[in-house]
Amino acid sequence: MARDQVGSPNRGWLLVAVAGAGVGLLGGMIGLGGAEFRLPLLIGVFAFVALQAVIVNKALSLLVVATAIPARLLAVPLEELAPHWTIVVNLLAGSLFGAYLGATWATRMATRTLYRVLSVLLVLIAVALVTTHLGQVQPAHLNGPAQAVAGVVAGGAIGVVAALMGVAGGELLIPTIVLLYGVDIKIAGSLSLMVSLPTMLVAFARYSRDKSFAVLVENKTFVLAMAAGSVIGTVAGGALLGVVPSALLVPLLSLLLLVSARKVWQHG
């Protein structure tokens, strides 16, 4: 098993809510939910063991995404998304399987191995942030079967990463949608949520079969407090989107992820 104990240290709900709000604020300011920043916080500050942290992060990511979808539909109406339904189906064909596979691997990994996998994935997310927000993602101009196959493969890989980290995967889905299908980044952000929600539900269902899932019951107050803070922070961060220049914010957040990756590796 990837976890050898379930700890429930005493955590003040106000501190937890503030921490969740801070994470949500950081993510919201660059158009993400912040789960990639929350994972190292759960491990390094709140002392969850690797698999515990992933499961808690997944539960919180589900709540944040479920809250974000109605708000996103106000900004990008359903009629603008409907013509792109095949993109969602194409990516889900891979991501649902990837999510189940990733969650299965996480529950079977040794704790030391899972810490190190999480560390490597944090580095991957840092690179993706810099590439997406400071670089220029250009459409690959794929069509027909080649595009469909690439979508399934990319969806599968993203599903694995999202399940292993307990994140929604938007930081990988958005550039993938732009790259493979050439849609506007605003549309891509909404489509990523449509892919993320069912993908996370599959991973969550798989995690619910593992005894580590008890961490949610044993830390109900923690989860609710951090969920409330995360949602508030994400909304506030979204309102501040673009206020801090990406050229300044993204490198700082990427550096934060790299430092976190090192600390998570040391847990192993």
Q: How far apart are the first and last CA of the chain?
A: 14
More confident residue, 222 or 185: 222
Neighbouring CB atoms inside 10 A of 75's CB total 11
Query: Nearest to residue 165, comparing CAs of 2, 8, 26, 14?
Result: 2
State yes or no: pLDDT of 77 exceeds 80.
yes
Across the range 110-114, mean pLDDT stands at: 95
pLDDT band at 11 (very low <50, low <70, confident <90, very high): low
Which range, of 4-8, 107-111, 172-176, 213-217, averages the lowest pLDDT? 4-8
| List of residues 6+ apart from 15 with CB closer than 8 A | none
Summary mean pLDDT of the chain: 89
State yes or no: pLDDT of 10 exceeds 50.
no
- The 10s digit of each residue's pLDDT in 80-100 is 999 999 999 999 999 999 999
How many residues are listed for the chain in this entry?
268
pLDDT band at 6 (very low <50, low <70, confident <90, very high): very low
Can you give the pLDDT at residue 1?
40
Sign of the Cα pseudo-torsion (41, 175, 33, 92, in order): negative
What tokens appear for 227 in the block? 């969920």
* Residue given tokens 């690797």 in the structure block: 50
- The 10s digit of each residue's pLDDT in 205-246 is 999 999 999 999 999 999 999 999 999 998 888 788 777 887
Q: What is the DSSP string of 129-154?
A: HHHHHHS--------HHHHHHHHHHH
Across the range 100-112, mean pLDDT stands at: 96
Can you give the pLDDT at residue 9?
47
- CB of 42 within 8 A of CB of 53? yes
Can you give the pLDDT at residue 4?
40
More confident residue, 106 or 189: 106
DSSP state of 210: S
Note the pTM of the prediction, 2 decimals: 0.90
Distance separating alpha carbons of residues 262 and 71, to the nearest angstrom: 35
- The 10s digit of each residue's pLDDT in 132-182 is 877 777 888 889 999 999 999 999 999 999 999 999 998 899 999 999 999
What tokens appear for 218 in the block? 């044993």
209 burial type by CB count under 10 A (0-12 exposed, 13-18 middle, 19+ buried): exposed
Q: What is the DSSP string of 235-255?
A: HHHHHTTTTS-HHHHHHHHHH
DSSP state of 76: S
- CB of 159 within 8 A of CB of 169? yes
Across the range 7-22, mean pLDDT stands at: 77
